[in-house]
Structure 1
Amino acid sequence: TVELKVAMSCGGCAGAVKRVLGKLEGVESYDIDLEKQKVTVKASVPPETVLETVSKTGKATSFWVEE
C-alpha cells in the first residue's frame, strides 16, 4: 500500500489522478481523499512507480508522512 500527498483542489484534480492510476498496470485499488489531499493506492508495482505516475498529472506529489 502506497500513501501519497497530492495537491488537489477540486474534483477535476482527483479525476486526473483517477485517470493515471486507472492506466497503471498492477494497481488493485485506490482511494482518494480530496479533503486531506491524500491518495492511498494498493498496487503490486514499486511505490516509486506509483509516485512517478501520479506526478505526471502535474500536481505536487510526495509520499505521505504521518505527523
Structure 2
Amino acid sequence: MYFIRKKTDPDKPFFTVDWRRGKIVQCQGKGRIRYPQEMVEFVHYAEEKLRLLKGEEEKKAA
C-alpha cells in the first residue's frame, strides 16, 4: 500500500495505491473520486519502476 501526496501539501492525503503481485490493483482518492489524467500517468510510471526495482532485488538475492 502506497500513499501518494502532493508535494505542495504533504500533510494532506491525496491518493492511495494498492500494489500486489507486480501490478497496481487499486488507486483511490478520498470519497472514491475519479483520479485526474496526471495521476493515471503517474500510476503507470510508478508501476513500471516498482517492477524494475523488484527485478533488481530478485537478481541480488540470487
- Please say which structure displays the higher CA radius of gyration: 2
Q: Same fold (TM over 0.5)?
A: no
Q: Give the TM-score of the pair, scaled to structure 2.
A: 0.31
Structure having the higher strand fraction is: 1
Structure having the higher helix fraction is: 2
| More RCO (CA 8 Å, sep 6+) | 1
